């Protein structure tokens, strides 16, 4: 197994996992969407995609 690039604290991961586990399906799609999962990872795990880094830097 390849060594992971980075690690996050267990409690941070648990918060993110619980947030994802408790998501309600999107009322328009009838299922969970990638956007919902990405947002939960960001809001509850402080895990954000690299693609938004430039937007944050621009402020």
C-alpha to C-alpha distance for 32 and 38, rounded to whole angstroms: 11
The whole domain housing 42 covers 10-58
C-alpha to C-alpha distance for 54 and 49, rounded to whole angstroms: 11
Does some domain include residue 3?
A: no
Does some domain include residue 15?
A: yes
Say if residue 52's pLDDT is above 80: yes
Does some domain include residue 2?
A: no
What global pTM score does this model have?
A: 0.77
Phi-psi region of 46 (alpha: psi -120 to 50; beta: other; left: phi over 0): left
Cβ 15 vs Cβ 47: under 8 Å: no
Query: Tens of pLDDT along 9-49?
Result: 999 999 999 999 999 999 999 999 999 999 999 999 999 88
């Amino acid at each position: 197994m390849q060594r992971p690039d980075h690690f996050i604290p267990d409690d941070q991961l648990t918060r993110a996992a619980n947030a994802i586990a408790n998501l309600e399906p999107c009322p328009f799609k009838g299922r969970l969407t990638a956007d919902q999962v990405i947002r939960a990872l960001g809001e509850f795990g402080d895990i954000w995609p690299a693609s938004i880094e430039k937007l944050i830097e621009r402020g």
